[in-house]
Amino acid sequence: MEKAKESAATAVSTGLRGVVAASSSIGDVNGEKGELIYQGVDIHDLATKSTFEEVVFLLWHGRLPKRTELDELKRNIAASYELPGWVAAVFKHFPADAEPMDTLRTAISALSFSDKESRDLSRAASLRVATRLTAQFPVIVAAIDRARKGLDPIKPKAGLGIASNFLYMLNGEMPDDFDAHVLDVALILQADHELNASTFTARVVAGTLADMYSCVTAALGALSGPLHGGANTAVMKLLIEIGSVDNVESYIKDALAKKQKIMGFGHAVYRTEDPRATHLRRLSKEMGQRKGDTKWYDMTAKVEEVMKREKGLLPNVDAYSASTYYMMGIPLDLYTPIFAISRISGWTAHILEQYADNKLIRPRAEYVGPRNVPYVPIDER
């Protein structure tokens, strides 16, 4: 028995690849087949038939809502939009050149001071906290963007869904219907992805029975990295640097020869088409056609062609979301916060699941350092 424990503790899987670290009913990724489900429902159905609010209910409750349940969730979200006054005022003191992911992380951490239910980890209270967080993420991201431009925040409209409201609060005018639809689909596609790095982070923190704000603050830190949520902004910077379809082939080949990673391509789990990329590719193309310029879509498609041929790597969720958001006029550094506006639904679903059947997450490390090193007094070193 002791021996079995010992060998389990010393089998290292770098990056925890292939390690099953939790049982979950929230979402599943089949990397070989390129399938993604949320609570059993196929992502292709959700991306073409559902709304982000419906997906939020699905992730939290394990089934699609009845109409009355969906209406209730929307009412609860609308009732939670307003930020505590002091939090809104704090944005004015953030440096104008701060990364929005950093200001979002700081704001969410601060928001916990005003939530008297944050330490109540019961499912009922946690669902209310999750609702407030889901409502307030888009409000905060829009307010952060306006504050750094010296503009006052715009109050959300109670009758609008999260995607429309976010664009409305960002730009101060009602969004184009297609833009709002595209953002809604993008939010659906990014809502959950099993034990990705930020969700795993959230579950590790939840496993200590810390409050939901701590879990989400930690998850935001994980999401900000360029190998995770930060990749979408990096893709757009790359496209801008490449400049034209004609430059793609030589630029990408050159970068690969220098062993550089091309953001938006490759995946830790998918070995075939990422089903989220299927929809974002379609939306990027249609967005370009509607705006009368498919340059950014065409460039991404060319990068896809070269990456497939040269490295056998396929686009992930970030490859085509970049050009899609760019054509909507969204600032580059808001792409990852938008990912967070979506992923808060998955994070909170996983935190609820972790709280409901908790065990502290505490893996082992393979020690590769020296042993029996004598302690030498400081003056003798």
Q: Does residue 267 have an active-site annotation? A: yes
Please, which residue, 66 or 271, has the CB nearer to ligand COA? 271
Residue (14 or 372) nearer to ligand COA, CB: 14
Catalytic residue among 179, 184, 192, 318: 318
Kindly tell me which of 236 and 263 has the beta carbon lying closer to ligand COA: 263
Cβ at position 14, least distance to ligand COA in Å:
9
The residue among 286, 275, 26, 52 whose CA lies nearest residue 185 is: 52
Whichever of 267 and 285 has its CB closer to ligand COA, that residue is 267
Q: 343 or 350, CB closer to ligand COA?
A: 343
Closest CA to 338 of 198, 250, 223: 223
CB count, 10 Å around CB of 3? 7
Least distance from ligand COA to the Cβ atom of residue 284, Å:
16
**318 is a catalytic site residue:** yes
The CB-nearest residue to ligand COA is 266
Residue 176: how many other CB atoms lie within 10 Å: 14
What's the distance, CA 133 to chain centroid?
14
Closest distance of CB 251 from ligand COA, Å: 13
Binding site for ligand COA (CB under 6 A): 15, 227-228, 231, 261-268, 311, 313, 316-318
Question: Distance between CA atoms of 5 and 264, rounded to whole angstroms?
Answer: 39
Query: Which residue of the set 145, 193, 228, 267 is catalytic?
Result: 267
Tokens of 275: 């089903």
Catalytic positions, please? 267, 318
